[in-house]
Amino acid sequence: MNKGLFFVILCFFLGTYDTFAQTQKIGYVDTEFIFSKMPEYQKALSEIDKFADRWSKDILDKQTEIEKLQRAYQAEEILLTDDMKRERQRVIADKEREAREYNNKVFGYEGMLYQKKKELIKAPMEIVQRAIDKVSAQKRIDFMFDKASDFVMLYTNPRHDYTDYVMEELGLDADSKANKKAPAGGQQTPDGPATQTTAKPK
């Protein structure tokens, strides 16, 4: 959802808040925090880095080969005939073109790295989405927002934060999220912060 559309929807919600609050239940989760604690997602990121490093090395090797050909040509140019010069220049130009095309193929728009990233993070994202769907159904949430998405949430009341429930559904440690939200000096229980402002929503 783009920012403009979300803003229109948000304005509608605010404009009809009295009716909306009585009939609808909203919540949000912090998927950025969830993914940071999810081993499957971190493993996917590690694999993506490996592919990026490997492809970067391939490009560097191609550039090294081109530089070697250029140095050899410059050193031998005075000894070459015109036909030999043109042939050397053609080879270098072809290598340069191949390197550019490979770079674009790997790191360009929707290139190999983009496709690999989409492939590797698909499974973890589906796992999180299923957990969000389950929590939303259990808690009868009508609208669930993502705090980590592109649109700006200027204020979020912790009582609408269902991140801990999703973490628990995934079998992840939710205590660190509760500790992060707890005010200084506040007391906590095993089920979350004791203060009303940071308690988990029902």
CB 92 within 8 A of CB 73: yes
pLDDT at 26: 85
Q: 105 or 173: which carries more pLDDT confidence?
A: 105
3-state secondary structure of 189: strand
Per-residue 3-state assignment (H helix, E strand, C coil) for 7-37: HHHHHHHHHCHHHHHHHCCEEEECHHHHHHC
Domains of the chain, by residue range, sit at: 3-40+121-198, 41-115
Which position has the token pair 């592919």? 51
> 74 to each of 18, 84, 97, how far by Cα in Å?
79, 13, 20
Average pLDDT for 22-47? 89
pLDDT in tens, 127-155: 999 999 998 888 888 888 888 877 666 56
State how far the Cα of 138 lies from the Cα of 83, in Å rounded to an integer: 77
> 172 to each of 11, 22, 123, 175, 176, how far by Cα in Å?
35, 33, 16, 9, 10
Whether residue 14 is predicted with pLDDT greater than 60 in this model: the reply is no
pLDDT in tens, 43-63: 999 999 999 999 999 999 999
pLDDT in tens, 94-107: 999 999 999 999 99
State how far the Cα of 142 lies from the Cα of 21, in Å rounded to an integer: 11
Which position has the token pair 């590797």? 120
pLDDT at 184: 39
Mean of the per-residue pLDDT values of the chain: 80
Give the architecture-level CATH label for domain 3-40+121-198.
2-Layer Sandwich (3.30)
